[in-house]
Structure 1
Amino acid sequence: MFQILVVDDERSMRDFLKILLTKEGHQVTTAPNGEEGLDYLQNSKCDLVITDIRMPGMDGLELLESIKEHSPDLPVIMITAFASPNDAVQAMKHGAFDYISKPFNVDEIKSVIKSAIRKGGGESDHTRKTDTFPGIIGQSREMIKIFDMIRRVAPTPANVLIYGESGTGKELVAQAIHKHSHVADNPFIPITCSAIPEELMESELFGHVKGSFTGAISDKQGLFQVADNGTAFLDEIGELTPIIQTKLLRVLQEREIKPVGGNQIQQINVRIIAATNRILEDEIKAGRFREDLFYRLAVVPLRVPPLRERKSDVPLLVRHFLKKYSRLLDKEVREISSYALQVLMNYNFPGNVRELENIIERGVALESSNIILPENLTLPSSQSNNDKEEESHSIKSTGTFQAVTSEKELYELGLEKVITNLEKQLIRHALEKTDNSKMRAADLLRISFRSFRYKVKKYGIQ
């Protein structure tokens, strides 16, 4: 059963669609106009929206634009009795799933609804792929390639070398490979190479016997022994010293280890997944990393893209982190304003997904309303200042604001006219800055969408 919202100013059409869809097994809510439809969507879960285009107040295209800014994956079907090529083009341009003219064939709309629900209700190719890998969020082309690679390499025993900047989710990819392998029920042991002191590294990896060095008061298993018949994940592999690199090479070649201070060789069966934020080829040229070890590790190389290369995943990640931290912090912050989201879309995220998660956690913690606003996004001051300077320069260079510059001019026009002119200029500038998106322009001006729409109509701004 799916939740469907029907928005139409004609009661007969609302009733007809509710009866039709209820018989199909869906739960249906109706709204007589765009405003009520939008209010419902802000507070309730929905799998599909069916909306008329021509309605008084907020029309269907405005509703569609608002939906796509806040819930880009929610499918929307547009219907109208006044079909026009321009309406169809605008509807599809703004992300409508389909456009149907009234009167429509019942079988036709049932087919379209079924296709829309299949795409947006959890059964699309992208959704199936992301659902398979808990914790890895993404539907971009770059991430789909990663998911496909995980599926292909996971069933094999091949060693994998994961490249990626800090914060991209390399360990999550390693976990996904392990969970889809034939040793999924056996241990997955993460080892951060840079976190273990050099003098303890050999003991930590290969274990030691009692009395082998000061403080070795008993035999101890190494992490490779703990990971036996499972997977060892060696993060920051480029930090290993030359001596440990040599010993690791033997583990990969011979599948055996010798504990520190011990004489007996122990056979192990461990799959190695390594990760690095360095370019190991450069490390090899500099003499800091063994070439033979590199080829043993990089049987299957896999690169996790930085967040700046998959910006289309930012809204999806934001919604995921909003849900996570609203629950953890016991707050009702479930939305982000479209302008705040645009700020994030324009940011390059040097810390990648980990940085975005921290930003959203802070935003939820600091926000006093139920929606994150731009002022509660704490980006690095250097970039924030640059953004402000660019915005200030943009305002000055466009010449949009022709403010009153003299006392004489103020008194000649009168206060009301000055305020009216300034409002018009601000509204036009906000629309320019947001590519004529009324929802984002309203966010930019810190006023409600209803107030913004009222002012646009009042001043006749196109």
Structure 2
Amino acid sequence: MSRILIIDDEPAICWSLKERLADQGHDVRIAASVERAEQVLNDFSPEVITLDVRLPGQDGLSAIPEFRERLPETPIVIMTAFGDLQTVVDAMSRGAFEYLVKPFELPEFLSVVSRALQSRALGAKPAVSIVTGDQMVGRGPAMQAVFKQIALVAPTEFPVLITGETGTGKELVAEAIHRHSQRRTGPFLRVSLASLSPSVIESELFGHVKGAFTGAVENRPGLFDLAENGTIFLDEIGETPLPIQVKLLRVLESRCFTRVGSGEERTTNARLVAATNRDLTSMIADDLFRDDLYHRLKVFAFELPPLRARREDLKPLVEYFLSRHGSSAIASLTDEFWQAIEQRPWNGNVRELRNAIDHAVVLSRGGPLMTEHLPPAIGPVSTMVNPGKQLGVAVADWVQQQLSESSEQSTTDLYRRFLNVAESALFSEILTRTQQNRSAAAKLLGLDRATLRTKLGANAS
């Protein structure tokens, strides 16, 4: 039997939780306020405390440090109906064991209490770190889970991998992780690898020395130099060329790197947060992404839900985006406009919603928001981009076209023609990346130089 204290001012919730816990043999006490709980603690030493945030008198969040000082071994489970990111982070960073958003299911509550009791038995103690606020919006369970993950991982030094569709807010999450970390006073540097050519990525990340290549007229630091005591956000990590992936792996494992054109080893303490809308596991299977780098990046990983999986957040998101234009914009929201918002699939996710609201506010010119003020909807998008599947579709289309245009006799050389087309494209790209160095190209392809030379000659014919 374990001792549990429930601090909540809603009698129905207290009765329901107490009954279920008592059925499991626990000794349960109830307090409707922090002040009443302090009186209960005079003759009752709980092994777990469940604590509501909004209470008459002192609020639950401000009471966490007091309870932790008085009962340092006792896990505190926070319960609230108001689950924004700041509340989650405040609760977790002040030492709460877990965070439950009302209304929750009783099995979920009982599971959390059970884990809290196990944690107390093992002597685990949460880290405490007071941090500041954010503007991320989400009341539903999907985003509450994201908020909780941000609160847990931010105070650590682990690399983070964020996945999710385009427009789900991966950069906002990266910023929140930095803002709620011990590095928040340091730089937060971001780069979209998809926007850079392969020849530029290495210099951008690691820097270069004067004379390293044509146009390198002076020494230039890279992001791993500039982000000292800060965070680097690598967006579209799936676009990283394989040779650069090797260098990133080295930085993650040893904190060491060298600038382009230099043999001098440098060190960095920058934290790495990466994001992608690609299916990296499929890229690994297609030899487009390194398995070891993937597992090193995803020490802590989570996927952002698309907007269609969090429809309950549409209203707070719309109100938030309208609030940026002033209170009059919120007042201009009509039932017709809201119905149009609810009916759209929002394939472009939160980014599409934000842009649509801004577009509508501009066109409404201060008047009521109407359906015609919305821009055209974005068409369906794939949930995660898979280059291997895209290639397979393209190959299938090419084969079907060749078969439909060829006679029965001419299809006998289809295999040779396919190899010529595929190898020519592959060899051309590899030679470009190796600056026409055939030895380097052969090494990347897993061929000897003589075989590559023969194949280049055959493809040229």
**Structure 2-normalised TM-score?**
0.54
Aligned to 2:347: 350
How far off its partner does 1:264 sit? 0.8
Measured in 1, the distance between the counterparts of 2:223 and 2:366 equals 47
Aligned Cα root-mean-square deviation (Å): 2.4
Equivalent AA in structure 2 for residue 376 of structure 1: H
Aligned to 2:204: 204
Structure 2 counterparts to residues 428-439 of structure 1, below 5 A? none
Aligned to 1:379: 376
Contact 1:333/1:369, CA 8 A, preserved across alignment: no
How far off its partner does 1:220 sit? 0.4
Aligned to 1:363: 360
How far off its partner does 1:333 sit? 6.0
Contact 2:168/2:307, CA 8 A, preserved across alignment: yes
Measured in 2, the distance between the counterparts of 1:201 and 1:295 equals 22
Measured in 2, the distance between the counterparts of 1:375 and 1:234 equals 38
Measured in 1, the distance between the counterparts of 2:275 and 2:82 equals 28
How far off its partner does 1:298 sit? 0.5
How far off its partner does 1:332 sit? 5.1
Q: 1:114 to 1:229 in 2, by over 3 A?
A: closer
Aligned to 1:242: 242
Could you tell me which of 83, 99, 103 is aligned with 1:126?
83
Measured in 1, the distance between the counterparts of 2:316 and 2:155 equals 29
Contact 1:206/1:257, CA 8 A, preserved across alignment: yes
Measured in 1, the distance between the counterparts of 2:313 and 2:146 equals 14
Measured in 1, the distance between the counterparts of 2:357 and 2:183 equals 35
How far off its partner does 1:375 sit? 2.4
Structure 2 counterparts to residues 300-379 of structure 1, below 5 A? 300-326=300-326, 334-379=331-376
| SS class of match (1:336) | coil
Contact 2:323/2:329, CA 8 A, preserved across alignment: no
Q: 1:261 to 1:324 in 2, by over 3 A?
A: same
Aligned to 1:291: 291
| SS class of match (1:182) | coil
Q: 1:114 to 1:338 in 2, by over 3 A?
A: farther
Give a deviation string over 1:4-56, Cα, whole Å, max 9, x none: xxxxxxxxxxxxxxxxxxxxxxxxxxxxxxxxxxxxxxxxxxxxxxxxxxxxx
How many residue pairs get aligned? The number is 263
How far off its partner does 1:224 sit? 1.1
How far off its partner does 1:338 sit? 2.0
Give a deviation string over 1:41-75, Cα, whole Å, max 9, x none: xxxxxxxxxxxxxxxxxxxxxxxxxxxxxxxxxxx
Give a deviation string over 1:366-396, Cα, whole Å, max 9, x none: 114532122222233879xxxxxxxxxxxxx
Q: 1:292 to 1:379 in 2, by over 3 A?
A: same
Aligned to 1:417: none
How far off its partner does 1:291 sit? 0.2
Equivalent AA in structure 1 for residue 216 of structure 2: A
Contact 1:335/1:370, CA 8 A, preserved across alignment: yes
Contact 1:322/1:334, CA 8 A, preserved across alignment: no
How far off its partner does 1:236 sit? 0.4
Aligned to 1:155: 155
Give a deviation string over 1:248-292, Cα, whole Å, max 9, x none: 111111101100111210011111110000111111011100000
| SS class of match (1:372) | coil
Q: Percent identity?
A: 41
**Structure 1-normalised TM-score?**
0.54
| SS class of match (1:218) | coil
Measured in 1, the distance between the counterparts of 2:230 and 2:365 equals 46
| SS class of match (1:137) | coil
Contact 1:333/1:370, CA 8 A, preserved across alignment: no
How far off its partner does 1:362 sit? 1.0
How far off its partner does 1:125 sit? 3.2
Unaligned runs of 5+ residues in structure 2 are 1-53, 61-79, 90-131, 381-461
How far off its partner does 1:129 sit? 3.0
Measured in 2, the distance between the counterparts of 1:179 and 1:381 equals 32
Measured in 2, the distance between the counterparts of 1:114 and 1:242 equals 55
Measured in 1, the distance between the counterparts of 2:167 and 2:348 equals 6
Structure 2 counterparts to residues 350-429 of structure 1, below 5 A? 350-380=347-377
How far off its partner does 1:326 sit? 4.6
Measured in 1, the distance between the counterparts of 2:347 and 2:158 equals 31
Measured in 1, the distance between the counterparts of 2:329 and 2:239 equals 43
Q: 1:333 to 1:314 in 2, by over 3 A?
A: closer
How far off its partner does 1:213 sit? 1.2
Q: 1:256 to 1:155 in 2, by over 3 A?
A: same
How far off its partner does 1:360 sit? 0.5
Aligned to 1:392: none
Is residue 253 from structure 1 mapped to residue 253 from structure 2 by the alignment?
yes
Measured in 1, the distance between the counterparts of 2:281 and 2:315 equals 35
Measured in 2, the distance between the counterparts of 1:291 and 1:251 equals 16
Equivalent AA in structure 1 for residue 82 of structure 2: D
Contact 1:159/1:300, CA 8 A, preserved across alignment: yes
Give a deviation string over 1:322-349, Cα, whole Å, max 9, x none: 121358xxx7564311232122112111
